Amino acid sequence: MAARLTVRDVSLRFGGVKVLDDVGFVVEPGRIFGLVGPNGAGKTSLFNCISGHYRPSSGSILIDDTEVVGLPPARLATQGLARTFQHPALRLHATVLDNVMLGSHTRLPGTPIEWAMRLPRTVRAEKALRDEALGLLERVELGWAAHRTADELSHGLHKSIELARALLMHPTLLLLDEPAAGLSHSEVERFIATVRRVRDEDDITIVIVEHHMGVISAVTDRIVVLDHGRTLMEGTAAEAKADPRVVEAYLGRDAADDAA
């Protein structure tokens, strides 16, 4: 079941520098939500707070009704959260299938000792997960590459590997960190189609950090625009593109004056 994400008054400081300043919003279950803003706006820092890589200086983050501030990423994975990164963390000399299988760790039964012993139930579970991973590679149009090593594929296809790995975790909340960065036009179009398909076919809430406004406009239901760690506006992508404050944050005051 898709999760609700609630971010309440989240602030983050590094020494005397305030990176996030009382950011808050709610993502309803099953929605695709965007976090946008210029470089240095605090988008990835907020993602790191949600995913447990940073601990906010203050504020609250809830997945459904569970407070998750202070939980490590591994624990959050058991709470239904999966995340991709701007620079995919892959084992380049392992096969594409083995890289996707890294997402199965939250679903294998038993203990690491039982997995190492290759007990019958762990062997059966691993085979079922491997079959599922192959199916996910077909969904992201990488079935043909399952048994190739990851270093044989392009950066854009690495993004698809990481997406398949995240989906193998059966997330209820999926965070995508700049998934279109470095993609060609055709790869961006395929990514948009894939995200729409995941939203339509899976019961997942998706939050995207992205600079590519074409992607944001194509896939999101609602967005928050951050600027210097603060919420600049919340609304639809169309409303954001028409807002002079957003234009100024991205392009400067002269562009905002021309748009007004």
pLDDT of residue 113: 72
Q: Do both 149 and 210 map to the same domain?
A: no
Report the SS3 class of residue 171. coil
Q: Do both 208 and 258 map to the same domain?
A: yes
Domain hosting residue 60, numbered range: 1-80+171-260
CA distance 52 to 192: 27
Q: Which residue has the higher pLDDT, 120 or 79?
A: 79
CATH of the domain at 35: 3.40.50.300
In a domain, 86, yes or no: no
Final residue before a domain boundary, out of 153, 170, 187: 170
pTM score of the predicted model: 0.89
Task: Report the pLDDT averaged over residues 81-91.
Answer: 88
201: confidence class by pLDDT, cuts 50, 70, 90: confident
| Per-residue pLDDT reduced to its tens digit, 202-258 | 889 999 998 778 889 999 999 999 999 999 999 999 999 899 988 887 765 544 444
The answer to whether residues 181 and 86 touch, using CB atoms and an 8 Å cutoff, is yes
Q: Which residues contact 30 (CB under 8 A, 6 or more apart)?
A: 2, 199, 203, 204, 205
259 pLDDT more than 60: no
Q: Do both 105 and 27 map to the same domain?
A: no
CA distance 227 to 229: 5
Helix (H) / strand (E) containing 218: helix 213-219
The answer to whether residues 227 and 39 touch, using CB atoms and an 8 Å cutoff, is no
State what percent of residues in the chain have pLDDT above 90.
58
187 secondary structure, DSSP code: H
